[in-house]
Structure 1
Amino acid sequence: MLTSEKKALSTRKARTDEQALREHHALHHGNTVLEGCDVCVNLGQRPVLEGASISAAAGEIHVLLGPNGAGKTTLMRALQGLVPLAGGSVNLDGRLGYVPQRHDIDWTFPVTAADVVRLGLVRSVSRWRRLGVSHMKRVAHALERVSMTHLRDRPISEMSGGQRQRVMIARALVLEPSVLLLDEPFTGLDMPTQEELSALFVELARQGAAIVMSTHDLSHALTIADRVTLLNRTVIAEGPPRSLNDPKLWQRTFQVSETSPLLTQVGAFTGAAASDGATKPAPVPMTKYNATTASEGVTHSC
């Protein structure tokens, strides 16, 4: 086959794949792909999470907010099956991608961005098989989605904090997950980098990913969130940011006084006012659904 014919065939295939991806996202956008129902987790004999429920839909950014020790990381680990449940259930339609708060990467190790992303495929490939052309295409696509193609061969030791975080997100995306879990993705990053990552998360959601993110950064969270869950060992409230306009919900979640600057900060986004006269909005009901785990083909009921 002539080189020109090969290029034309490759271009047609790329367009076909892109069209199929757009059609898939259009079909599934808004579908609930992850739900934790009344999740309970104990540490020893001590309950650290009690009756917490959360759902995530395709194309949606769902933010977990709460103080240190509220159970945000525990809930994320429970959603992945990394900690045993003392009660409740987790239903998943598709795959999970996870970007932890603390990375298992030695940043001084002599590996490139592409090498790190390839590590995300190790568990999905038989120990007797080597990564093939299709796997390399997935690595390239994951780097493209986080705008790191031009740095694919740069050593991670020479990267900024924001660039490293993008590489870790690409490592999670290489598995082509339907849900992306981000645990404190802004930690240790400067404001411009946080803004860049916020824009990236919005774009990934636009492409059809369901994003569940925990963070202490209220300003970025409330700016990009479609839904917010206030968590302090259990769910205090859940809904679109502007529906959480009762300051008492935030006081109860973060254990602060009615004069706390935190209430002023969230008020700019939710319309909350630090006064006793505020009224609690009607609770937003959670969607109940049947989900099929793609890897096992088993249907669960929540």
Structure 2
Amino acid sequence: DVSQVITHFASAEEHERAAAMLASGLTQLNATTTRVDDYLLLSIWSDTELPDRIDLGLRIYIRTLQIALRDRYEKSVSYAVSDLHDLLGQASASEAWAVISAAVFASPVISRQDPVSAIRIAGRALQLAPDAELPDGTPLPLPENVPIEFFVWLPVQGMRTADHVRDWLNMVAELRPEQRERAFGLEEAEEAMMVMVDRLWVNESHKPDEERRWPDVLAALDEVGQAAQGLDFELLWACAIRASLVVHADYMGDIQEAHRIAEEALA
């Protein structure tokens, strides 16, 4: 049994061998399409510190798969998420492959509860990606059919507030110009931008009338629009303008101001 062998190596303080086997087992389980709840495998080092003598990239990769798999089988991921954040803070280009795996497998889980952390993971992966190498020093092969800039849009599913959007904009601003261009040229970009911007007013509309703060929403939309212009992304700017028109016309009853904004945008 793989779990027993891993436990044996760990007990003998052969931590690198135990970690390599654990990573292999988790990788196979993650690739399995049928539901196989391997309790022992998912429990190994799940709520205790991974020994420092284990390679940093391997520790990041193990935590990543633990988050993805334990979430799949409805087990707690709080310790693994907390430790992953600490490990990512230590990562450099040598661990880029593992950081990228975190953006792919762990970020969607983390985004549901902590969009800001998911944004930071995506940003870190994109910063390291151009120089990413495998553990043996060879360049990390990246899929051609799914550009790595797709990571820009992964956190959007969990974003709900103006602060989330601000953090996302800051992440995008720190990317290389060519990365931003590829990200905003992806097929998914238009829908993701509309969802992200529209949530600002949709979420506000779900509140009781006395709790709605439309001026705050408009200020956030204006901030998005200005940032979009600064980054030269017309579609994101257009999404912000459209959302402002909806707020003014449909929720504030200010048709005249909506008309003025529309004319100014078209000028």
Name the structure where helix makes up a greater proportion of residues. Answer: 2
TM-score, structure 1 as length reference:
0.28
By relative contact order (CA 8 Å, sep 6+), the higher-ranking structure is 1
- Higher-strand-fraction structure: 1
Report the TM-score, using the length of structure 2 for normalisation. Answer: 0.31
Structure whose CA Rg is larger:
2
